[in-house]
Each structure stands twice: as structure tokens, then as C-alpha cells.
Amino acid sequence: MTDVEGVDAWEVLDSRGDPTVRVRVETADGAGTFTVPAGASTGAHEAVERRDGDDRYGGRGVRDAVAAVREDLAPVVVGRPVADQRGIDEALVDRDGTENLSRLGANAVLGVSGAVAHAAAAATGRPLYDSLAPDAGPGDLPIPMINVLSGGLHAAADLPIQDFLVVPTGAGTYPEALEMAWAVRRAAGRRIGDGDHPPSVADEGGFVPPTADADAAFELLTAAVRDAGYAPGDEVVFAVDVAATHFYDPTHERYALAGDRLDREAMVDRVVDWIDAHPVRSVEDPLAEDDWRGWERLVDRVGDRVQVLGDDLLATDAARLDRAVDVGAANAALIKPNQAGTITRTRRVLERAQAADWAPVVSARSGETCDSTIADLAVALDAGQIKIGSLARSERLAKYNRLLGIGRAYDGDFAGAAALAPRS
């Protein structure tokens, strides 16, 4: 078994122009590189990234995290079998010494963990989606959840809801799903633009709509689907990332949404109204990250007909997922490697979600690079769904294009609409 011979790290820039960590792991039989993403709408329960806090890049430099890779983590990894992902990841976590990886930084730890996964694939001459797969082999190509309209922390917009997305449930293949979403996005852009200038785009490539009202945004999206020649609710359904934590006031237990101050029950009612009025099949973070009673109440009302997707609620954390499963607080889990901090932790949460018959959705972050690891991860572990962003910007398209490449090299099926929760 090939051992790790060297580890290096350096600072690069992500899609927002902010610094992030890139790590390279060397073996005698191949090397692997991984670049760590970063979120804007980060939850309180995520693994903690390390930033320098000095004058460089407004305090967002990552030289300290890079130094942690070279000085603290490299000695832990060098000499270990590169294929021992679990053993290496456990050693990295032990070296940090904190549950949330706050001492050395989750961006340092994940950088090494991801680079080890790539190096192991290179050393064995296998594509990453095969190298990471269980003994049964890789799974299906995932159905994409594609961002069309953006507000919240991803855009300079009055719209507090973070993302409005389309899911091409009428597609029979992954390439067809991209074509359908492209047509809807183009139609939405024509409705928003003035003919001379394209509409503004947010961090993940979604258009910034000229409204602060969620129902108006849904109606714009419905019109775009029809303009593209598809049937809303049949061939194309909607997903929405509410990101409710960011307009929740925990002191008064109120949601400040578009001029309204809603209590828990009123917020649940508002989300149910959206589901009843529009072809919404997936709602992400519809309540705040620690409003467990609100989540349970929403699932009681709509969990038998739509996907209730936890991001900030779960933070790709096994203990929080277990609690959510026990109390029925959701029926789907967003999976973000940088929330978990290692490939092994990410895998553990995804597989626990599957074991509970929940739907996993592998997801990118708002601060991304052209690293396409999550595309391989989604296929390797048969996630069934992937959320990358819009069909714009190279850091998004690198992942969509990677899935097109996997589809050419691998004869797996397309997960399609059946991947969405609730599972029948």
C-alpha cells in the first residue's frame, strides 16, 4: 500500500476573491490536490474555519491555516498508507484536539483530508468517484437542484429568501436536466433584464430579482418555466433555500420577513402557503437552526408531500442528524464537506441519512473554486441529488461539467425525480 510522502499547502483565491486553502498530497504513485470552499451563510454548528484576522484581505487571509497544514498536520500524515482515509482523518481530528476543529481550523483539516482522497485515487489509477465508492460500486448520476433567483446573504437584494431553484423532474438523463434548467434560467433572465443589459447575478450565479416578495419571485419563476416550454409542477418543480436563521430574532422568537414579524406558527404557515400556492417540492432551512419545535411542526404538516431539507439545522454533523431523525425534524440532509471537516465525517453523515431513509443532497458553498470533488462524491455515495449553484460562473460549471464527464466514462443510471424526499 502506497504511503504519503509529502504534504504542502498554499493560499489561493475563491470565487468571491477571498483567500482559501489549497493542499497537495504526494505519494510515489500519484498526487492529489484539493481546494477548500467557504460559505457566507454559515451556521453556528459548522466546523470552524481559521482566518488570520490581520490587515491582509480584511482579516480573511489563511496563512495561519496553511502553516497548520505544513507544521501540525503534515507530520501526522506522512508515512501513513494513503488509502487509509478513515485512519488519516481520525488522526487529523485528534491532532486538532477539538470537536469543531477550531484550534487548527477546519479549512486546514479538510484541505488535507480532501487531498488524501485525491492522492489515493491517483495512486490506484482510479477515478475519484470509484475510489470513494463502497464495495458495491458508485451510484447514480444525481438530479441537479439549480439556482435561478437569489437574495439573502448571496445577493445585494431586498429579497430576504436566499435562493429559488428549479429541479428538472421531467428529465430522463443528467444532460437533459441541464438543458431544461438552462432554458428556464435564460427565460428568467429575459424577464428580468431590460434588453440592453443582462440582470445582475449573485454569489452562486442566480439572477437578482427586482422584488422583495417571495410569492412574486415564485411567480416570476413559474412564468420562466412556461416561457421555456415546460409545465410547472410536472416537468419542472421548485426548491427554495429560505436560510431562515439569518432573519430570525432568538431573543423575541420572531422571524423578520419582508416587513413582517412572524412567530413560529406564523412562519410555518407562511412556508405552507408557498407550498400550497406554487410547485415547491423542496424547502431548505425554512426555520432557524435551533428552532426544533418549528421544524417538527412543519414536517408534521407537509413532510408527507415535500422535501424538508436541513442545512444549518444539521450542519453535516452526525449527532445533530441523529437528533433530527429521532424527533422527525426533517426528511432530507444537505451534505457539505466543509461543515463536517473531513471526508470521513462527511461520508458518515450522508450514509446515516440514507440509513434513515432520508434524502441526502450534496452541496457546494457560495465561496467556491473549480475544484469538482463534490461531483465525484455525489456519484460515489449515490446521494441522488446535488446542489451546485446556477448555470453560470466557472466554479459552478466545473462541477456540472465534471458530472457530464463522469456520465461519459461510467454507465450509471440517472437518479431523477425519485431521489427527492419523501421516499415512497
Q: Is 162 annotated as a binding residue?
A: yes
Are 263 and 370 found together in one domain? Answer: yes
Assigned domain for 130 exists: no
343 and 395 belong to one structural domain: yes
399 is in an annotated binding site: no
Q: Are residues 19 and 62 in the same domain?
A: yes
Q: Is 417 helix (H, G, I), strand (E, B) or coil?
A: helix
> Are 148 and 21 in a shared domain?
no
Considering the domain architecture, whether residues 113 and 153 belong to the same structural domain is answered as no
pLDDT of 155: 57
**CA atoms of 188 and 222, how far apart (whole Å):** 9
Q: What is the pLDDT of residue 41?
A: 60
120: domain CATH number is: 3.30.390.10
User: Per-residue b/e over 34-48, b at no fewer than 16 CB within 10 Å?
Assistant: bbbbbbbbbbebbbb
For residue 297, being part of any structural domain is answered with yes
Segments of 71-201 assigned E as strands? 143-150, 163-167
Residues 266 and 395 in one domain: yes
- Any catalytic annotation for residue 204? yes
Shared domain for 66 and 157, answered yes or no, is no
Alpha-carbon distances of 155 from 199, 227, 390, rounded to whole Å: 12, 25, 13
Q: Fill in the amino acid letter for 377.
A: L
Q: In this structure, what CATH number is given to the domain that contains residue 160?
A: 3.20.20.120
Identify the residue whose cell numbers are 415564485: 218
Per the annotation, the verdict on 399 as an active-site residue is no
Which one of 93, 125, 157 terminates a domain?
125
Helix (H) or strand (E) holding 301: helix 292-302
**In the chain, how many domains are there?**
2
Residue 226 is assigned to a structural domain of this protein: yes
Picking from 175, 190, 174, the residue whose alpha carbon sits closest to that of residue 225 is: 190
For residue 137, being part of any structural domain is answered with: no
Other beta carbons less than 10 A from residue 55's beta carbon: 8
**Does 307 lie in the same domain as 233?**
yes
Q: Which of 125, 151, 166 is the last residue of a domain?
A: 125
| pLDDT digit string (tens) for the chain, length 424 residues | 799 999 999 999 999 999 999 999 999 999 999 999 997 766 789 999 999 999 999 999 999 999 999 999 999 999 999 999 999 999 999 999 999 999 999 999 999 999 999 999 999 999 999 999 999 999 999 999 999 999 877 555 678 899 999 999 999 999 999 999 999 999 999 999 876 777 888 889 999 998 889 999 999 999 999 999 999 999 999 999 999 999 999 999 999 987 899 999 999 999 999 999 999 999 999 999 999 999 999 999 999 999 999 999 999 999 999 999 999 999 999 999 999 999 999 999 999 999 999 999 999 998 999 999 999 999 999 999 999 999 999 999 999 999 999 999 999 999 999 999 997 6
113 and 170 fall within a common domain? no
Does a structural domain hold residue 133? no
pLDDT for position 107: 98
pLDDT recorded at residue 156: 56
Half-sphere exposure of 167 (CA within 13 A, CB side): 31
Contact 363, 311 (CB under 8 A): yes
- Distance between CA atoms of 360 and 382, rounded to whole angstroms? 9
Residue 134 lies in a domain: no
Considering the domain architecture, whether residues 158 and 307 belong to the same structural domain is answered as yes
Q: Which of 94, 125, 156 is the last residue of a domain?
A: 125
Catalytic-role residue among 46, 289, 296, 336? 336
336 is in an annotated binding site: yes
Answer yes or no: do 10 and 147 share one domain. no
Q: Is 366 annotated as a binding residue?
A: yes
Measured between alpha carbons, how far is 383 from 286 in angstroms, rounded to an integer? 22
Range of the domain at 195: 143-419
* 311 known ligand binder: yes
Amino acid 210: pLDDT? 87
Query: 147: left (phi > 0), else alpha (psi -120 to 50), else beta?
Result: beta
Residues 96 and 167 in one domain: no
385 is in an annotated binding site: no
Res 157: pLDDT: 64
DSSP category for residue 11: E
Q: Is residue 154 part of a domain?
A: yes
The active-site residue, picked from 204, 235, 368, 395, is: 204
